[in-house]
Amino acid sequence: MDIEVLIDEAIKAREKAYVPYSNFKVGAAALFEDGKIYSGCNIENASFGATNCAERTAIFNAVAKGNRVLKAIAVIGDTNNFTAPCGICRQVIAEFAENPEIKVIIVKNHKEYIVKTLDEILPGSFTKKDLEV
């Protein structure tokens, strides 16, 4: 997997963000089992609770095209800081992650990024295995 390509796609996706309320653009790019990268941006709503994050937009985009296995994801905000996935997105990443060791790339810019595993950012996650009786 080429992390630089994933970062570039996340940066491109960020430009599509619909953020009339926060003006805080976020882009994400997710690599799935079909080998393709699916991107997403945050999409706000006048009813703030209806807002969708970039990571979930990317993942839902891939799932809607038949994918189920997430291999890596990169996320970048519109700030001079590292932007990490929110709690809801971490849970959605866990739902589709190939395993707890997939890479979550938290990006500040082209040259500065942090690579974490899903297990590092969401230890002890609740998954479909917890629903088994």
Footprint of Zn ion on this chain (CB under 5 A)? 53, 86, 89
Least distance (Å) between residue 31 CB and Zn ion: 18
DSSP of 37-63 = EEEEE-B--SSGGG-B-HHHHHHHHHH
Q: Determine whether 85 is exposed, middle or buried from the number of CB atoms within 10 Å of its CB (0-12, 13-18, 19+).
A: buried
Least distance (Å) between residue 15 CB and Zn ion: 18
Q: Is 9 a catalytic residue?
A: no
41 known member of a binding site: no
Residue placing its CB nearer to Zn ion in the complex, 34 or 103? 103
- Residue number of the CB atom closest to Zn ion: 53
Alpha carbon 32 to its chain centroid, in Å, reads 12
User: What's the first-to-final CA gap in the chain, in angstroms?
Assistant: 36
**Catalytic residue (one of 4, 9, 55, 95):** 55
89 known member of a binding site: yes
Query: 10 by DSSP, 3-state: which?
Result: helix
| Among candidate residues 88, 20, 97, the one with its CA nearest the CA of residue 54 | 88
86 known member of a binding site: yes
Q: Which residues are annotated as a binding site for Zn(2+)?
A: 53, 86, 89
Residues taking part in catalysis: 55
